[in-house]
Amino acid sequence: MERHRTLAAVVAAIVVVAVAVLIVDAFLTPRPTRIALYGDSLSMQSAQDFQFLAVESGKTTLLGGYGGIAPCDVLPRLDGDAASWHPDVAVLEFVGDDLTPCMRGYAAGTPAYYAKYRQDITTAVHLLRSHGVAVVLIGGPLVKDPVDSRNVERLNAMYKAVASSTSGVRYVDAGSSVLANGQFTWTLPCLSSEAQCTGPSGTNVVRSPDGLHFCPSGATSIQGQFDVCSVYSSGAFRFASAMLRAADNA
């Protein structure tokens, strides 16, 4: 009988030690960094690379990009996402769409449009910061059309100003990753980290035929949270990499 009691005590002690190890391990092992990405078609075309690169570096992602949307479109979901998913960093990328119902009456280029964008971005930033989420505001790339490029520049300047006046918020010019010395370009030299180098003379095409997006063929298909190009998209890879680096340094 005494032997059985001793054996039971030993087993109980082993169980206690094992549970204690599991508890300590849970506290000492940090959970993966959680990065939420919200944006328009540029985010959606970059989302597949963004997620792949994030997971490869031990992070998890929440993807909230969709073509044509503006900051006002994501405002209703930010509080819920922050409360339930608990992101460490939120990346906000919007180059100026005015197509959705919440932008009705705010035509691009008008004073009301810029005031609306500033108000909504500021609201998004304050909401996320109230949950302790670090925020990165992304500067978008210049486009082929000079008028649209001036609009991008004005929005980028606004994002930079909002970031500089708010604690826990950074502005990062990820758009420069697809430009040549700050100017629009169709091609850029291939990167050593790229999976393919398909353009002429060691270059890759980084913009779509529309001069705005990234897919070289211009042919994409929506697959869940991704807008997938029919061919390799160097521009999407570069933009995704720049946004992820920004999140890493937030």
Contact 203, 28 (CB under 8 A): no
Question: Which two structure tokens, joined as six digits, stand for 60?
Answer: 């998890």
User: What pLDDT digit, counting tens, does each position of 68-86 carry?
Assistant: 999 999 999 999 999 999 9
| CA-CA-CA-CA torsion sign (6, 10, 13, 15) | negative
Q: Does the structure show a pLDDT above 70 at 13?
A: no
Q: HSE on the CB side for 125, CA within 13 Å?
A: 24
Q: Which residues pair with 205 in a beta bridge?
A: 187
Would the pLDDT of 17 be above 60?
Answer: no
Amino acid 195: pLDDT: 87
pLDDT digits (tens, 9 = 90+) for 109-152: 999 999 999 999 999 999 999 999 999 999 999 999 999 999 99
Query: How far, in Å, CA of 145 to CA of 135, rounded?
Result: 29
Mean pLDDT across 159-173 = 98
- On whether the pTM is more than 0.85, the answer is yes
| Domains of the chain with bracketed CATH | 31-248 (3.40.50.1110)
